[in-house]
Structure 1
């Protein structure tokens, strides 16, 4: 990484990778010269919400397969002070579901951008949709007559 290059860092869980993840990574790439993407480890995610559906190694491989990240690294902490210092980050991009949480990085000379997900896709919404669909299918399956069961009065249905 040469002098005067703008280094951008973005991070996320990137569980059940979807178009808003891609949009945020592409947006981050457009802000600078070098894009470093941190992928949150399973242990980190599990410390503040339900564990990811897709295991860390697979989420890392998906992000590594994209064209825009120059470097992909594990993200092991929600405190980004050390990574900002070690990697000389100029710009940090994160989803707007974290609005305000990383304003402290501005004290270190980092510009912070909260990428607007808007009403689009989110991993949480995808998980809920899958769960609700499965629950509906299971309810239909569980509430049908079983021809192999003979009622206790000896009569068939």
Structure 2
């Protein structure tokens, strides 16, 4: 059952696409008739955290392949004031790691939903896990003794 919202916007980096990304997008899809998904450009992401592992064009293609979004667009700014006005957005959905950051949209009449990611999967956690696993494997391989060479 759809609420009174018509156009829903959600956005993110969507680096190393995982199940929590999908859950948030599916949740946003259920809030209205049209779902627009913004994918943060590499330049935007680099302005506030480390560069994504997956390049922008690939992240955009992944989102475009999903069944939930009606439209996928580049997101070039964290300030959504003009975007919500220009696209007549009724509601905005973002992960709860951004709680409070988009409350200013409520002053524009936009409903803001902070989707609860919880303690599960995140791109940052995936990167950290991969890094530590790689370091463990590298340490083991770097410390091995060279085998003895037997002469015939």
> Normalising TM by the smaller chain, what interval?
over 0.9
Paired positions, count: 146
Structure 2 counterpart of 1:153: none
Alpha-carbon separation, structure 1, partners of 2:5 and 2:82 = 20
Give me the CA root mean square deviation.
Answer: 1.3
Alpha-carbon separation, structure 2, partners of 1:23 and 1:5 = 19
Alpha-carbon separation, structure 2, partners of 1:116 and 1:126 = 18
Write the deviation string for residues 28-51 of structure 1: whole angstroms up to 9, x where unpaired: 000000000000000000000000
Structure 2 counterpart of 1:26: 26
Task: Map residues 134-145 of structure 1 onto 2, 5 A cutoff.
Answer: 134-145=134-145
Shift of 1:148: 6.9
Write the deviation string for residues 9-39 of structure 1: whole angstroms up to 9, x where unpaired: 0000000000000000000000000000000
Larger radius of gyration: 1
**TM-score normalised to structure 1 length:** 0.90
Task: Map residues 1-150 of structure 1 onto 2, 5 A cutoff.
Answer: 6-147=6-147
Shift of 1:147: 3.4
Structure 1 segments, 4+ long, off by >3 Å, are none
Shift of 1:78: 0.2
- Partner of 1:66, secondary structure, is coil
Alpha-carbon separation, structure 1, partners of 2:85 and 2:142 = 56
Q: Where in structure 1 are there 5+ consecutive unaligned residues?
A: 150-157
Q: Where in structure 2 are there 5+ consecutive unaligned residues?
A: none
Alpha-carbon separation, structure 2, partners of 1:23 and 1:96 = 13
